[in-house]
Amino acid sequence: MEHIFREGQPNAPTFILLHGTGGDENDLLPLAQALNPKYNILSVRGEISENGMNRFFKRHGEGQYDVEDLNYRTDRLIQFLKEAAETYHFDLTNAVPVGFSNGSNIAVSMILHPDITFNKALLYAPLYPVDLVNDKDLSNVEVLLSMGENDPIVSIQDSQNVIDIFENRGATVKQVWVNSHELTREGIIAGQSLLKDD
């Protein structure tokens, strides 16, 4: 997978940066710098092209996921992360997914996957309209959900669904409500706060 790796301070955690639709591996580098400049960075480009826009998985329309492809791409991304951890010598158990929009959505899929464990995640403008039978215990997970009160893509009901996915599985959820489908200063400050325990 196309990606950027930047080494941080020794034994620092690693941000897994996952861009939104139409972005690339450069998009969230300033966000990582703002959140904590000491961390390693692994920024990944989505493998799907939708009308020339990079994405992490296919969809049939806005909010209509190709679940088969989502599962396939999630497996591929997890395998890539495991290989990257060996290549770049970072601890995958101490990695923090940081996603925006489509990147947040593939991050949710990874967090729910049985083959990988994250203790923290920062998800900006997530949407996850998938019927779940997965009851993975997330009681050791802290997650920031930055959601828009007037988001034209993700309704408040859709945002509440994401909250429920995590809370129903025992995760500690920190909510930040912003205006729209966006990265904001409030969201960054909330992310910094959640990371401070490291």
The catalytically annotated residue of 19, 109, 146, 181 is 181
The catalytically annotated residue of 19, 27, 101, 159 is 101
Distances (CA, A) of 123 to 51, 52, 108, 127: 25, 24, 8, 10
3 given a catalytic annotation: no
User: What whole-number distance in Å separates Cα of residue 87 and Cα of residue 81?
Assistant: 10
Residues 6+ apart with CB under 8 A from 30: none
Cα torsion 132, 136, 141, 144 to 10°: value is: 0
- Tell how strand 14-18 and strand 40-44 pair up: parallel
Shortest CA distance to 112 belongs to which of 97, 91, 92?
A: 97
101 given a catalytic annotation: yes
The catalytically annotated residue of 27, 43, 151, 159 is 151
152, amino acid identity: P
User: Could you give the residue numbers annotated as active site?
Assistant: 101, 151, 181
